Structure 1
Amino acid sequence: MGKTETKVIHVHLIFEKKDFYFGSISAIFKILDEERVGIKKSTLLHAGLSDGASLPTRKAIIKQSHLIRSGS
């Protein structure tokens, strides 16, 4: 059985002490607005977020990783 990996973007809102998990950058901004995250969608899209990297803003910490699941 093989393993499959799915990209996950974790957004931790610092002052609200809330965590959100998304499958794409675009999905973040369907739920959270730019003011709440502390970065514009276009800026985040061009930030070059890579696997395991963190991007701190004044209001959030954004991390990209992979969810590892066992294949069926």
Structure 2
Amino acid sequence: MVFPACVQCGTRQNPCRCKFVGPTLGFVAFVITGIIEWPVGAVVYIFKHAKGRRIMGHPARTVYPKVSRAIPI
């Protein structure tokens, strides 16, 4: 089994200037919320296009950045 690992270099959030844990956990949270929200967004999109798009974009627009920024390592 391959575990996805995300690395973000060039950040000023820690002395090492690289982040590993935050982006990786952000990606995992992104996938989990995407599995739940994308089908819901697709069903809502049938009736309300703008609301469906907002629901489907929520993991990338809100979840990943918040989790990634919350953990400075």
Give the TM-score band, short-chain normalised. under 0.3
* Greater RCO, 1 or 2 (C-alpha within 8 Å, sep 6+): 1
Bigger share in helix: 2
For the pair shown, which has the larger CA radius of gyration, 1 or 2? 2
